[in-house]
Amino acid sequence: MRGLVAVVMICWAATSGAAGASSVTRSAALTTLLQSKVFTTAEVGLEGATTAEAIAFGQLATERANAEFLELARRGTSAGRLYGLCGLKMLDDPAYPSVRSEMSRSRDPVRGAGCIAVRTTVDKVLALRKSRSGKEESMFDRVCVTLTAYSSTSGSRR
């Protein structure tokens, strides 16, 4: 699994800088993430296409929509719950540690994407592993970094 995460992240880093986001409403953004089937980096594939999920996440992040991220973490699809958790982390929401702990026990299936598709479970996405640098991080943390970076730049493109 670590190798797959590394390939996804290397591919994302090599293709970042793709076309900017279009603005969506807060309600549409929430709906997109509640129904998402895949937890993915902000940009995917060899072309570095910006995902609908990244655009929606960026909209909620720009609006500092803590309540919507908590709702996502509680009642979204497996992927939607991970987007919600990422939003809580990014906004330093006090609910983040308990929600992450709760979700880390979930064996619900989830798909991930970047340059390659991954099928796994929520607990495995959240599991901490030592990186080559010795730092402990998870697949979730690596993907969340890309979404956070995208959302910080997408606000300036609106």
At 155 the pLDDT is 55
Residue 131 in this model has a pLDDT that exceeds 90: no
pLDDT at 130 over 80: yes
Where are the domains positioned within the chain?
Answer: 2-152
pLDDT of residue 22: 53
Mean pLDDT of the chain: 83
pLDDT higher than threshold 50 for residue 14: no
Question: What phi, psi does 57 have (nearest 5°)?
Answer: -60, -45
Q: pLDDT at residue 139 above 70? A: yes
Write the pLDDT tens digit of every residue in 40-87: 988 877 677 888 999 999 999 999 999 999 999 999 999 999 999 999
Lowest-confidence region among 1-5, 69-73, 140-144, 153-157? 1-5
Q: Which of 157, 147, 152 is nearest to 57 (CA)?
A: 147
Query: Is 58 buried (19+), middle (13-18) or exposed (0-12) by CB count in 10 A?
Result: buried
Please tell me which residue, 13 or 157, carries the higher pLDDT value: 157
Q: How far is CA 125 from CA 16, 21, 111, in A?
A: 22, 26, 10
Check whether 10 has a pLDDT greater than 70: no
Look at residue 118 in the predicted model and tell me its pLDDT: 85
| Angstrom distance (rounded) from CA 42 to CA 147 | 5
Residue whose entry in the numeric block shows the structure tokens 């293709």: 15
The reported pLDDT for the residue numbered 157 is 47
pTM of the complete model beyond 0.85:
no
pLDDT at 5: 41
